[in-house]
Amino acid sequence: MNGEPAPSDTVPERSDHGSPDAARAPAPEHGRQHGWEHGRERDGELSPHASPEDLLRLLVGDHPERLVHVHEVPARRARLADWPEWVDPTLLGALLASGIEAPWSHQIEVAEAAHAGRHVVVSTGTASGKSLGYHLPILTDLASGASAPNGRGATALYLSPTKALAADQLSRIDRLALPAVRPATYDGDTPTDERRWIRDHANLVLTNPDLLHHSLLPGHERWSSFLRALRYVVVDECHVYKGVFGAHLAAVLRRLRRVAARYHSEPTFVFASATVADPEEHASRLLGMPVHPVTVDGSPRASMTFALWEPPLLVDETGQPKRVSTITETGELLAACVREKVQTVAFARSRAGVEVVARIARERVPVTDESRVAAYRGGYLPEERRELEKALRSKELLGLAATNALELGVDVSGLDAVLLAGWPGTLSSLWQQAGRAGRSGERSLAVLVAADDPLDTYVVHHPEAIFGRGIEATVVDPDNPHVLAPHLAAAAAELPVTEADVAVFGPQTRALLDALVARGILKKRPRGWFWGREDRPADHLSLRGAGEPVRIIETRTGRVVGTVDDAAAHSQVHTGAVHLHQGQTWVVTELDLDDHAAFAVRGDPGWTTQAQSVSDFQIMHEVEHEEWGPLRCSFGHVTVRNQVTSFLRRLPGGEVLGEHPLDLPARSLATKAVWWTMPVEELTGAGVEEDGIPGAAHAAEHAAIGMLPLFATADRWDIGGVSTALHPDTGLPTILIYDGHPGGAGFAERGYRRVRTWLAATREAIASCECAAGCPSCIQSPKCGNGNEPLDKRGAVALLDLTLRHAGSAQQRPREGRS
């Protein structure tokens, strides 16, 4: 049975109270604000009764069954420290004048480590002022370097995953008005005439890894004076760099270290992160060098009320169970908060979802408040985003629907409540988003509104999965050959790769270099490996996806309106696809795979499309396995083949208008997977008859994919699965869950290491769902290539009971695999 395909490309607990930001302590001191991010006084507009408890009672109204659980996150008191003697006096005066009387302890620990030249990672809670810790040594050294003959005896590079975050950092530095510091953002929006000035004169450049990869490193000669003085590199929000994206960043940082060494500089790297399980290991793997961790949070934190909310389950006109949409429920909750003058941000996972939440909220507030509700997402012009951020800070905006662009550190202070439309993917993101509330020192409210998904259903009914549980370990594999090989080619184009560079890039380097030579991509010479072609390898490599992105081109004008990842193109922009982009509906008239272009016309035909596909897999090498009596669980290398064969046209109510064939080539993905096998006679004995195996295995596969993000730092869309009643490589019914990225991303391996807990949660998620025969909350998948057929809820529970019974009685001793 074909399961749900994954795109080939596509984010330590300190107390027993659940929140990584919480600690057992009294309430914070009021009257003084400390740290880089400081609060604002209320303007008196908000309702005086709107405490978290009062607001929650108001939201619940006559539907108490929607409120599944309430958790109180306790307050934490500030831990202060003294200013270091080496801080530049002008900088210190500017900080004191801005209202920062004393720094917090973790800020000074970071500052002292970086000032001493030690690579450091700071992993503390949201709004804990991490940036002040690294700005103290950076801005001090930039000021002292201004006396050099060229005016920049020291330079610094700041890398962030989003343009909005870099712009926010720039505005903070500009507010200090330090005459010796010349900061500038350098990204795709920077005008050409400004770029030369930045290269020649700026001493603090704020950019992103993509520009570093595509522009700065390939053109390092033009940056020679900047690189020669490079003293610090900041990698902000480094928890975002996980899986394949993290492997790309790891390669880019190694390339940066090589190029910096060419200009005789050895910069100190500073990583800043939301709370992750092992920041030291994560940052060290990204950099390829030891990194000192700073994890004890010295900032104060007011208490937070955290509610778990489940929209009601209704019955549609066909008699099938259907839960109220998470987006609809969140929009109504946002409107209720705005009506009470409670400033609230609602996070949704997609751009389209953000627009719908904002629209629903605007429809449900008084006319006088419609202008005080807005959406915030990628795709807006920079000036539009800045205007929205300004309106939110000034409280002109009361309700904002946002993507995670606001999660990633944009300085928004004084919010009263946060709504989360569905599980955000990881515990780290959940606490990062929830932490946007309460930033002014006041008590706050966070509400997780469950989506119609097995994982969401599970976590709202098992609050221990959120509260009292450590943050996920972040998975990064810098040695992924599918990522490292093209970066070695890019490195050779920047500077010839030498024997000494093998230690920089890791143990696989030599074999990959030889393979690149054999393919004619590099040339081997006595002095090393050289790029011998006229084009630039960096132009063919995207950090945020493998393969060349497919452009969406407006047929009438030839204008490029957007892009999709190469791997997603077959299912999202095939000929005839209805594609939503930045809130606008487009119909694809042609997909040209050779030209990496999809041609589309604007318009809404009144239906949606859903790609149908077939999948199979081949086991290439079993790395290790466990024997579970007659069952076997394995981890290893596989090749997954997926082919989009047709698409369905559906009306808004779900009715199918027709199925249309497509002639698209099959795609192969070499990746890593976890799989387990079950003899037919064992399944029969457990109550799953032979003709019911496909439906039972398919349903268990869907639910297992939905639950894996709870145990690995993954998103459902990063993972794929295939199930079959008889696989030629095993000769048995087999369920396989795989990483949807070339070479693997570590998610399947993480699942294998915790397979008993993972499958037990999967079984519980299916069995506890109140539907009769299966629904999106348990076994149906939003991306199933087979249209969610066949599925057997009862059979899936029986199959998982069988699996867990044998897994529980077997010894947990991994064994080496076999080819």
**DSSP annotation string for 319-339:** S-EEEPPHHHHHHHHHHHHHH
Residue 18 has pLDDT above 50, yes or no: no
Provide the sign of the torsion angle of the four alpha carbons 25, 27, 31, 32, taken in this order.
positive
568: left (phi over 0), alpha (psi -120 to 50) or beta: alpha
User: Considering Cα of 770, then 773, then 779, then 782, what sign does the dihedral take?
Assistant: negative
Tokens of 756: 């008993």
Supply the pLDDT for residue 8. Answer: 36
pLDDT band at 165 (very low <50, low <70, confident <90, very high): confident
pLDDT of residue 675: 97
pLDDT digits (tens, 9 = 90+) for 187-239: 888 888 899 999 999 999 999 999 999 999 999 999 999 999 999 999 998 98
Per the model's pLDDT, the better-predicted residue between 216 and 809 turns out to be: 216
42 by DSSP, 3-state: which? Answer: coil
Q: Please compute the mean of the pLDDT values over residues 756-770 and round it to a whole number.
A: 92
Q: What is the pLDDT of residues 640-684, one digit of tens each?
A: 998 999 999 988 766 788 999 999 999 898 999 999 999 999 999
Split at pLDDT 50, 70, 90, the class of 583 is low
What is the per-residue DSSP string for 394-458?
A: TTS--EEEE-TTTTSS-----B-EEEEES--SSHHHHHHHHTTBTTTSS-EEEEEE--SSHHHHH
pLDDT in tens, 51-66: 888 889 889 988 888 9
Percent of the chain having pLDDT more than 90?
A: 52
Q: Which of 295-309, 311-325, 654-668 has the lowest mean pLDDT?
A: 311-325
Band of residue 549 on the pLDDT scale cut at 50, 70, 90: confident
> Nearest Cα to 269, choosing from 119, 121, 161?
119
Residue 552 has pLDDT above 70, yes or no: yes
Calculate mean pLDDT across residues 440-463: 86
750 closest CA partner among 710, 783, 779, 717: 710
pLDDT the model gives residue 290:
97
**Residue 30's pLDDT band (boundaries 50, 70, 90)?**
very low
Among 2-16, 513-527, 697-711, 798-812, the minimum mean pLDDT is found in 2-16
Statement: residue 410 has pLDDT above 60: no
pLDDT value of position 757: 94
Mean pLDDT of 797-801: 97
Distances (CA, A) of 170 to 126, 174, 186, 205: 19, 6, 11, 9
Give me the pLDDT at residue 406, please.
61
Residue predicted with more confidence, 119 or 187: 119
Which pLDDT score, from 0 to 100, does residue 816 have? 55
> Average pLDDT, stretch 226-254?
93
Average pLDDT over residues 160-179: 88
Tokens read off for 74: 């306790």
Contact yes or no for 130/110 (Cβ under 8 A): yes
**Would you say residue 819 has pLDDT above 60?**
no
Position 357, amino acid: V
What's the pLDDT at 282? 93
pLDDT at position 582 over 70:
no
- Asked if the model's pLDDT at residue 11 lies above 70, the reply is no
- For residue 62, what pLDDT is reported? 80
Provide the pLDDT for residue 414: 63
The mean per-residue pLDDT over the stretch 110-126 comes to: 95
- Confidence band of 1 (pLDDT split at 50, 70, 90): low
Whether residue 321 has pLDDT greater than 50: yes
What per-residue confidence (pLDDT) applies to 28? 33
pLDDT at 472: 65
Per-residue confidence at 50, pLDDT binned at 50, 70, 90? low
